Structure 1
Amino acid sequence: MHQLVEQFLKLKPPKFDGKGDPEIASLWVEELEKAFEVLECTEEENVTLAVYQIQGNANDWWKTTRGRVFPAGTAQIWIVFVEAFKGKYFPESARERKLAEFMRFHQGQMTVDLYEAELARLSKFAPKMVKDPLYRARRFRDRLKPDVHSKMISLNLRDYNEIYERA
C-alpha cells in the first residue's frame, strides 16, 4: 500500500475540502478515477486513496459518515463511496440545476469552439440525453446562433463532428 500511495501522489491528485461549487465535487471524483485507472487500483484501494485526499470539512463529514456507509465487516466499494460523497457534496438539487443549465444552453455570442467546449462540459450532467449520437448532434445544431443554425439545417448533416466542423 505504501508503494501505491507514493505512485498515487506522484500523479498529483486533487484534494477536496468540501467547500465551493458542487460541480467541484464531481470534478474531484473524475480526476481521482483517472489516477485509479492508471494505477489499476482495486475498489478498496480507490476508497482508501480518495479518503487520503479529503481534508477539512469533508474529512469531518467522512469521519462521522464512514460507519454508516461501510458498517464493520463491509467491503469498501468505490461506487458506494461515490454515491455517499455525491449525496453530500453534489446533491440531487445541484444535479438538477446543472441539467437545467444544459437544457437552457445556447451558443449566444460565443465562438463555435467555446460553445462546443461548454456544451461538452454540461453534457456530463445529462448523460441519458446525449447517449444517442443523433440526439447529441441535433442538440448541438439546434442551439447554434440562428444564422448558423439555418445553414446547418439546409445541409441536413447528422454526424456531430461533421456539424461541428461545418459550423
Structure 2
Amino acid sequence: MAKQEKVDGPDATLMEVPIYLLESQETKANVVENMDKQQKNGDDTDAILMEVPTYFMTHDESIADVLERLNTWRTKGLRTGEPAARGNQNPPQAPVEGVAMPVNPARLTDAEVRASLSQMAQAITMQAQAMTAQVNRQNVQRENPLVRNMADRLRDFTRMNPPIFTGAKTSEDPQEFIEELHKILVAMGATDIEKAELSSYQLKDVAQTWCKMWQDSRVLGEVTVTWELFKTAFLERFFPREMKEAKVEEFINLKQGSMTVREYSLKFVKLSRYATSLVSNTRDEMSRFLTRIAEDHEEECRAAMLHDNMDLSRLMVHVQQVEESRKRK
C-alpha cells in the first residue's frame, strides 16, 4: 500500500488515533509515543500501520477491508522475523498455525468505527484539558499564595482570643479594643493590610454593618485598606471627638475618694490613655497620680518620688503598701 499525503481538516485530526487501537491492548500514551519513534526511525513495517488512517480517508476502501489488510501485513511481518512493534508497545501475539486471526470481530460498520474513533479523540482532548487546568491552578496558587496565607493567618489570629466589638453596648471601649487588637497583630508580625483585614473579623452587629459599608466605599475608590486607615475610620465612627473629650475631662477630675488605692490606680491608667498630653513623661505621671489620692497617703509618698529608679508602677505598689500598713494599725 503506497503512502498518501495527509489530509488537513477535522477528519484528519480525528484519524490521528490509529485504527489498530481497536485490536490492541496498549494505552493511548504508548501509541502516541511509539508513533513518534517509528516515524523518526523510518520503520517500514510499522510505518505502514501509521498510514492506515490517512489511507482510509483518501480511498474508497471499506474499514473492514483495511482491517483485513492490516492483519495480513502484521502476520507477514511476524512470519518473516520482522518486529511488529517497537519501544514499549505490547503487540498482538503471533497467530497459531491453522487458526485465523479475527478481522473486525465485532463487525462494526463504518459509522460505528468512526464514532469509536471520535470518542477516543474527545477523551484524549478532555484529559489534556483537565491536565492543563490542574497545572494552571497550581501555578496560580504558587504565584498568589496570599489566599492560603490569609487563611493560616486568620486561624492563628483566632487562637489568640482577640476581643470582639459590637458597637451596641455602652460598656464597650473602642480605644481599648483597638489597642488590644494591635498588640496581638504586632505579636503575629502581620502587615498593615493584614492587620486591617483581620481586625474586620472581630466586628459584630452594628460595627460589622458599618465596616462592610466602609470597605465597599474603599473598593469603589480603589483605595487599599491599611491598618492606619481602618483605625482612624473606626475611632471616628465609634469614638468621636466629643466622647474623647469627655474621657479627658473624666481623667482630669479623677480622685481616689472612696476607692481603694488599687481601684484608683486601675482607673488612673485606663483614663490616662485619653490624655497623653497631660502625662507626657514619668515625672508628670507620678505627680498627677499622687495629687488625687488621699492627703495622708500623699504626704507620706511624695518622698518616694525622689528615688532615681521610681516610676508609676513602683509608686502605685508603694502607695498600696502604705494603705495596707495604715489599715493594720
Give me the TM-score of the superposition, normalised by structure 2: 0.47
Give 1:3 shift.
0.6
Residue 271 (structure 2) aligns with: 122
Q: Quick one: which of 229, 236, 242 aligns to 1:93?
A: 242
3-state secondary structure, aligned to 1:118: helix
Residue 64 (structure 1) aligns with: 213
Question: Partners in 1 of 2:200 and 2:161 — Cα distance?
Answer: 15
Give 1:119 shift.
0.6
**Amino acid paired to 1:131:** S
Question: Partners in 1 of 2:168 and 2:278 — Cα distance?
Answer: 29
**Amino acid paired to 2:167:** G
Q: Is the 8 A contact 2:244 2:274 kept in 1?
A: yes
Give 1:24 shift.
2.1
Q: Is the 8 A contact 1:69 1:84 kept in 2?
A: no
Structural RMSD (CA): 2.0
Alignment of 1:52 onto 2:201: yes
Give me the TM-score of the superposition, normalised by structure 1: 0.88
CA spacing shift, 1:104–1:70, aligned 2, 3 Å: farther
Q: Quick one: which of 260, 266, 269 aligns to 1:111?
A: 260
Structure 1 residue runs without a partner (length 5+): none
Give 1:68 shift.
4.1
**Amino acid paired to 2:316:** Y
Question: Partners in 1 of 2:204 and 2:305 — Cα distance?
Answer: 49
Question: Partners in 1 of 2:171 and 2:194 — Cα distance?
Answer: 25
Structure with more contact order per residue of length (Cα contacts < 8 Å, sep ≥ 6): 1
> For each residue in 1:1-20, what CA deviation from the matched residue of structure 2 results, as whole angstroms up to 9, or x when unmatched?
11111111111212222112
Q: Quick one: which of 287, 295, 298 aligns to 1:138?
A: 287
Q: In the comparison of the two structures, how many residue pairs are matched?
A: 166
Alignment of 1:27 onto 2:176: yes
3-state secondary structure, aligned to 2:153: helix
**Amino acid paired to 1:3:** D
Q: Percent same amino acid at aligned positions?
A: 26
Q: Is the 8 A contact 1:22 1:90 kept in 2?
A: no
Question: Partners in 1 of 2:173 and 2:155 — Cα distance?
Answer: 24
Give 1:131 shift.
1.7
Question: Partners in 1 of 2:315 and 2:163 — Cα distance?
Answer: 35
CA spacing shift, 1:62–1:143, aligned 2, 3 Å: same
CA spacing shift, 1:139–1:23, aligned 2, 3 Å: farther
**Amino acid paired to 2:166:** D
Question: Partners in 2 of 1:118 and 1:124 — Cα distance?
Answer: 11
* Most deviating of 144-153 and 76-85: 144-153
Structure 2 residue runs without a partner (length 5+): 1-149, 320-329
* Most deviating of 12-21 and 60-69: 60-69
CA spacing shift, 1:17–1:164, aligned 2, 3 Å: closer
Q: Pick the structure with greater CA Rg.
A: 2
Question: Partners in 1 of 2:219 and 2:173 — Cα distance?
Answer: 24
**Amino acid paired to 1:65:** W
Residue 157 (structure 1) aligns with: 305
3-state secondary structure, aligned to 2:258: coil
